Homo-oligomer: A and B are copies of this chain.
Amino acid sequence: MNKFIRVNMETLEATVGSVPEKYVGLGGRALTSNFVNDEVNPTCHPLGKNNKLIIAPGLLSGTSAANSGRLSVGAKSPLTGTIKESNTGGSSSQMLAKMGIKAIVIEGVPKEDKFYIIKVTVDGVSIDEAPQEILGGCGNYDAIKILGEKYGDKVGMALAGPAGEYKLASANISFKDPDGNIRSAGRGGLGAVLGSKRVKGIVIDPEGAEPVPIADPEKFKAAAKVFAKALMDHPVSGQGLAAYGTDVLMNILNEAGGLPANNFTGGRIEHNDNISGETLNATITERGGEGKVSHGCHKGCVIRCSQWYSDKQGKYVTSGFEYETIWGLGADGGIKDLDIIAYIDRAMDDIGVDSIETAVAVATAMDGGLIPWGDGDMVLQIVKDMAKPTPLARIIASGTTVVGKVCGMFRVPVVKDQAIPAYDPRSVKGMGLTYATTTMGADHTAGYCVSGNILKVGADIDPLKKDGQIEYARAMQIGTAAIDSSGMCLFVYFGIADNPGGYQALIDMINAQYGLELTSDDLDELGKSVLKVEKDFNTRAGFTNQDDRLPEFMEYEPLPPHNEVWDFTPEEIDQVWNF
């Protein structure tokens, strides 16, 4: 990966340069966060001309390593105002890596009121005007088809959906996956940044791409085998996720009393059977839609958590149908019909909005009186309305904080204006520390303490107690920052957390690819450095320790059934950053 592409949308010119020395050893989140901290003025407006968006494959992307096909996107977030790294599956990461492209940077805004398509090939970059028919409300599914007809079926794509065009703060970036469906760099509104630069899409044509060079192929192959086996050997990454998808967590969190319900006023629901992973699996099996059940979001995935959800006629509805989405609509918003939830999930992918932010915004709006509790039909209509947004659709697509504002609420489940996902901090306390302290705003993937708190993978910590949580949240965030830089799916953690050989194999693969001699200490240092770079950006943007706090209501509204409140003191929370 020796090419560093810069696309200037003001001049409509692109340059393909060599990789700046400082970024040569970096990939994924390490690269995007360093770049944003280096080149973006932390006090700039996220939707103004001075923000920059960067897309970068991970260190191992494009290789045969299992689950190495994730892609990082970075910018200043219009949702949170913080630095943001959001990563995704799909086919683009592996294509870019094989095309030798370390990163694509998009900067400036066009002078004319037009939208553009950036086309990237091994020979260079061109900028076309976007076809009119994919603008002004055209969904991503149709846009992928139309662009496929123009640019060929084999291209990768990154799209700003309608929400991105309108620069709404929940807009994600939608990536074409190997099945021609949609994967998303979901959180933090990066689709709005793409839309602000008037980039409707990036088309990646891999024609002429070559295998990623490997310094020591034999060593790589051996390590890759050990690594893949580690993933397959663990019951979560080897069996549970493939069988039930991430929605396997529904019954687990419900049992644990950590499943936020009715806008974070309860921790357990009665209708869990309607929306659980077991029900999801049974429905998919029964319907047998197009012969697919579980599959991966990118080539080389051995975990295959993505579920292929079809309707009663067996016709594809959605995939990448995640626990957090089903939780947000089904438990936090009380929509009891899995089919309706699936249609809403599809609509969110089609419009291009983060399904977590949107689902939590919906549940908050129900609590605020804007939407009747559990009214899935109305929610589906609101999401569809985002194509030509009504005022209500704009409110929901602007995220949970805006919903809280327009409803005059104090029970607004956000940190740094980003919605808290599917694990209540009052009964999964380690998770609360990650929400509070991550540089990203509330984000379970920034340090998934559910693992040791609930699943008992990698650690065994009482979720209702403070003991050990600070150290654990710190370690999980550091480790995650390193994994996010490797191009690996976060779920590889299950395979390597309790398997030192699996972890060593991950390091061995990096060393074999690049001819390095890294140790686990080096990965640890990498993770720490990424977090510190991100914190530096946020501090210069005006964030302080006072922003590292959960919403106040969690301190005085006990969560049934355990009736716990959030009781970490500010001083304790701040200790997460003692490294």
Contact = CB atoms under 8 A, between A and B. Distances in A.
A541 B552 CA distance: 13
Interface in A306-364: none
Interface string A515-554: 0000000000000000000000000111111110101110
A39 to B, nearest CB: 16
A242 interface: no
Interface stretch (A41-49, A113-121, A250-258, A433-441): A41-49
Contact of A392 (B391, B398, B549, B556): B391
A72 to B, nearest CB: 23
Interface string A356-386: 0000000000000010000000000000000
Interface in A427-456: none
Interface in A29-70: 42-50
Contacts of A551: 45
Interface in A132-190: 166-169
A476 B409 CA distance: 36
Contacts of A549: 43
A111 to B, nearest CB: 13
B408 A47 contact: yes
Contacts of A405: 169, 398-399, 402
A46 B556 CA distance: 15
B196 A410 contact: yes
A128 to B, nearest CB: 23
A164 to B, nearest CB: 9
A394 interface: yes
Interface in A395-423: 395, 397-399, 402, 405-410, 412
Nearest to A168: B408
Report the copy number of this chain in the oligomer: 2
A313 B47 CA distance: 48
Interface residues of A, number: 47
A18 interface: no
Contact of A542 (B42, B78, B410, B544): B544
B391 A552 contact: no
A47 B370 contact: no
Contacts of A398: 402, 405-406
Given A541-B546, A542-B547, A546-B542, A402 B406 contact: yes
A47 B394 contact: no
A2 to B, nearest CB: 35
A390 interface: yes
Contacts of A74: none
A153 to B, nearest CB: 32
Overall SS of chain A's interface: loop
A273 B37 CA distance: 50
A195 interface: yes
Interface string A182-212: 0000000000100110000000000000000
Contact of A44 (B50, B78, B552): B552
Interface in A544-572: 544-547, 549, 551-553, 556
A392 B391 CA distance: 5
A48 B410 contact: yes
Nearest to A109: B410
A541 B542 CA distance: 12
A167 B410 CA distance: 10
A553 B45 contact: yes
Contact of A394 (B406, B541, B553): B406
Contacts of A169: 405, 408
A47 B409 contact: yes
B395 A406 contact: yes
Given A391-B391, A402-B405, A43 B552 contact: yes
Nearest to A164: B408
Given A166-B408, A405-B169, A45 B196 contact: no
A196 B166 CA distance: 33
A50 B556 CA distance: 10
Contacts of A547: 542
A391 to B, nearest CB: 4
A418 to B, nearest CB: 13
B45 A552 contact: yes
Contacts of A412: 45
Contacts of A392: 391
Contacts of A394: 391, 395, 406-407
A168 B405 CA distance: 7
A397 B395 CA distance: 13
Given A43-B552, A48-B553, A541-B546, 8 more contacts: A44-B552, A45-B410, A45-B551, A45-B552, A47-B408, A49-B556, A167-B407, A168-B408
Interface of A: 42-50, 78, 166-169, 192, 195-196, 370, 390-392, 394-395, 397-399, 402, 405-410, 412, 540-547, 549, 551-553, 556
26 contacts: A43-B552, A45-B410, A45-B552, A45-B553, A47-B408, A47-B409, A48-B410, A48-B553, A166-B408, A167-B407, A167-B409, A168-B406, A169-B408, A370-B391, A390-B391, A391-B394, A391-B395, A397-B406, A398-B402, A398-B406, A399-B405, A402-B406, A541-B546, A542-B544, A542-B545, A542-B546
Closest 8 CB pairs of A and B: A167-B408, A542-B546, A391-B391, A394-B406, A48-B410, A391-B392, A45-B410, A47-B410
